[in-house]
Amino acid sequence: MPGLWAIFTVTAAAAQVLRNAQQKELTQSLGTAGATQVRFLFGLPFGLLFLLIVLAAMGTPLPRLNGSMLAWSVGAAVAQIAATALLLAAMRERSFVVITAYSKTEAMQVAVFGLAFLGDQVTLGVAAAIAIATAGVLLVSWPRSTGGEAFSWKPAVLGIASGAMFAIAAIGFRGGILALNSPSFVLGATTTLALGLFIQTSLLSAYLALFDRKTLFAILRLWRPSMLAGFTGAFASQMWFLAFAVETAAKVRTLALVEILFAQVLSRNLFKQTLASREALGIALIVAGVVLLLNL
Q: Side chain identity at 119, as an amino acid letter? A: G
pLDDT digits (tens, 9 = 90+) for 220-275: 888 888 888 889 989 999 999 999 999 988 889 888 878 777 776 766 655 555 66
CA distance 288 to 105: 16
- Residue 142 banded pLDDT, cuts 50, 70, 90: low
Highest mean pLDDT among 130-134, 139-143, 230-234: 230-234
Residue 101: its pLDDT value, please? 65
Checking if the pLDDT of 120 tops 80, the result is: yes
Do the beta carbons of residue 20 and residue 237 sit within 8 Å? no
pLDDT, mean of residues 21-47: 83
Checking if the pLDDT of 32 tops 60, the result is: yes
Angle at Cα 266 formed by Cα 261 and Cα 267, nearest 5°? Answer: 95
Residue 275: its pLDDT value, please? 60
CA distance 95 to 111: 27
- Residue 77 banded pLDDT, cuts 50, 70, 90: very high
CA distance 119 to 134: 22
The answer to whether the pTM exceeds 0.85 is: no
Residue 35: its pLDDT value, please? 80
